[in-house]
């Protein structure tokens, strides 16, 4: 809060912060942030709130985990899950591969390995998406 106050006293209007969720969400606990409450009162301007977001790598890993564990429902109602990537990998063999960034082990990660960002990026990479289209 001290950093927010200092920034705003210099003329920067803080409307949102991004947190990496390190330290078991200590800041989020202090600010009473949860999935149901994603704002806290602006310490400098009491008539406004500040929005709180998790960092993008965290969201990417969460999306990947949900995709692998439960699947996803697209806007048009189409349901997709890890099987679509298993099919791509089964077809994508040979010298020249379309889906060269996606290692089969990225689809079966467990425990702390799910904290790595690179496998999550590979699951949702442009090359993986293009391989699914083919």
Tell whether the model's pLDDT for residue 29 goes beyond 70: yes
Q: What is the pLDDT of residue 23?
A: 57
Taking a C-beta distance cutoff of 8 angstroms, is the pair 81, 72 a contact?
yes
pTM of the model: 0.74
Domain-wise residue ranges, the chain: 2-54, 57-133
Distances (CA, A) of 23 to 29, 36, 69: 11, 20, 25
Using the predicted structure, report yes or no on whether residue 120 has a pLDDT greater than 70.
yes
Please say if the pLDDT value at position 24 is more than 70.
Answer: no
The per-residue pLDDT for 125 is 94
- Is 54 in a helix, a strand, or coil? strand
Please state, rounded to an integer, the average pLDDT across all residues of the chain: 91
Strands (DSSP E) along 59-114, which ranges? 72-73, 79-80
Q: What is the pLDDT of residue 69?
A: 97
Q: What whole-number percentage of the chain has pLDDT above 70?
A: 96
């Amino acid at each position: 809060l001290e950093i927010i106050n200092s920034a705003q006293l210099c003329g920067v209007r803080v409307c949102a912060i991004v947190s990496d969720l390190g330290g078991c969400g200590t800041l989020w606990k202090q600010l009473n942030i949860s999935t149901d409450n994603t704002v806290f009162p602006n310490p400098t301007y009491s008539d406004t709130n500040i929005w709180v977001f998790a960092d993008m790598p965290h969201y990417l890993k969460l999306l990947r985990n949900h995709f692998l564990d439960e699947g996803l429902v697209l806007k048009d109602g189409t349901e997709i899950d890890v099987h679509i990537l298993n099919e791509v990998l089964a077809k994508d063999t040979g010298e020249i591969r379309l889906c060269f960034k996606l290692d089969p082990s990225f689809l079966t990660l467990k425990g702390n390995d799910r904290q790595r960002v690179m496998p999550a990026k590979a699951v949702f990479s442009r090359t993986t998406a293009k391989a699914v289209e083919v």
